[in-house]
Amino acid sequence: MTSEPPNSARKVVVHLRATGDAPILKQAKFKIAGTDKFAKVIDFLRRQLHRDTLFVYVNSAFSPNPDELVIDLYNNFGFDGKLVVNYACSMAWG
Amino acid sequence: MDSASSWDGTLRLSEFYFAARALSQKWKHMNHVLPPWTWFPCPRPSWAASHEVEGYLSLENVCYLRSNGEDPDRSCTSKEEPSYYKEELTDDATLVQSCDEEVHFYDFHILYSGSYKVPVLYFRAYYSDGQPLALDDIEKDLPPNSLKILRESKWTFITQEEHPYLNRPWYTLHPCGTSEWVKLLFSGDSCNNEYVIEKYLISWLSVVGQVVGLKIPLEMLKKAQLYPVSSSSSVNDGLSRWNPQEDC
């Protein structure tokens, strides 16, 4: 790994990916401070889509806890310089 | 199980057993805050084939501190002797917790739903004196995000059901939406049957845990950490870590 600025200065590129019939964002990539919690990504999504009920998950088959730090998620599950976060709209009753 | 693209997000009973074992093993290795999950074998229902193992996972006496300030990590190490709190104490100085902190205890069971063919979370909570918590009080213990999920989502809600084996009322997260969102969780992965079974309960718990305040360590969710479940040495290993209990 190349030397990086300390985590406090580190920004993470998040790529929001629509799945199913969820609306696609015009601006799907953005930067967020690594020290922010994942809750911020969820809230950002909710505001962008004007929806509260979203199912948010990462490719590795799990839904990140809102308390997780974005930098931790990126370090473990990021690739190609970004963290891909998938979102779907809430399901109908099964 | 069909190929990943046509998979419907459900598990067979036998697959639930292996998924439960995978969760239990990884949890024991990687979760340093909470005690391990214990497998309780149960009498086989009449409709299950003779080679199938029936049972459930149990995690009990997880204490939740009702604190005043912001407390992102609500669950803590469970007390080793929860009965301590039930004893009569004449001297306040011997209390472990401070007087203005409330400690609640939570029991979590992961059962298999034969009708939905998915895992179901059962839970109950009680005060330090053993009195059960009502749902209103439980909701005050849950993380703020969880109440949002419960009120606004269409994929789960809390109901009270009779525990299938213990014949007492427990709270449960209704399993009706589970297969759909589990299928979604795994849709991005190029996965084979074995991978999905091993990962199923961990992935499931990453979602369900958010509702009840159980946090899954990131370590457990990484691909590289999969253990082979089928080798004989790990079966014995697995059994000793299983803490198998007598029939319920």
- ipTM for the complex? 0.85
- Burial group, residue A55, by CB count within 10 angstroms (0-12, 13-18, 19+): buried
CA distance B86 to chain A (A): 33
For residue B213, pLDDT over 50 is answered with yes
Q: In which domain, by residue range, is A51 found?
A: 8-88
Q: Which of A3-17, A61-75, B79-93 is most confident?
A: A61-75
Q: Domain for residue B5, yes or no?
A: no
What's the structural domain count of chain B? 1
Minimum CA–CA partner of A58 in chain B: B185
Q: Domain for residue B248, yes or no?
A: no
What pLDDT does A57 receive?
92
Burial state string for B2-33 with b = 16 or more CB within 10 A and e = fewer than 16: eebeebebbbebbbbbbbbbbbbbbbbeebee
What does R_g of chain B's alpha carbons equal in angstroms? 19
| A:23-62 residues touching chain B, CB 8 A cutoff | 39, 42, 52-53, 55, 57, 59-62
Q: Domain for residue B20, yes or no?
A: yes
* Nearest CB to B155; choose among A19, A57, A90: A90
Cα(B213)–Cα(B10) distance, integer angstroms? 24
- Per-residue pLDDT tens digits for B63-98: 888 765 444 444 444 444 333 333 344 444 444 544
- Conformation bin of residue B14: beta by default, left when phi > 0, alpha when psi is -120 to 50: alpha
Active-site annotation holds for B176: yes
* Nearest CB to B215; choose among A55, A67, A88: A67
A27-41, B10-24, B37-51, range with the lowest pLDDT: B37-51
Q: Domain for residue A1, yes or no?
A: no
Q: Domain for residue A16, yes or no?
A: yes
- Burial group, residue B89, by CB count within 10 angstroms (0-12, 13-18, 19+): exposed
What's the structural domain count of chain A? 1
Q: Domain for residue A12, yes or no?
A: yes
Cα(B202)–Cα(B188) distance, integer angstroms? 16
Q: Domain for residue B196, yes or no?
A: yes
Q: Domain for residue B8, yes or no?
A: no
Q: Domain for residue B137, yes or no?
A: yes
Q: Domain for residue B23, yes or no?
A: yes
- Per-residue pLDDT tens digits for B143-190: 887 777 776 666 778 899 999 999 899 999 999 889 988 998 898 766
Q: The CATH number of the domain where A83 resides is what?
A: 3.10.20.90
What pLDDT does A9 receive?
65
Q: In which domain, by residue range, is B199 found?
A: 13-241
Q: What angle do CA B63, B69, B75 make, to 5 degrees?
A: 20
Q: Domain for residue B108, yes or no?
A: yes
Q: Domain for residue A71, yes or no?
A: yes
Mean pLDDT, residues B119-127: 96
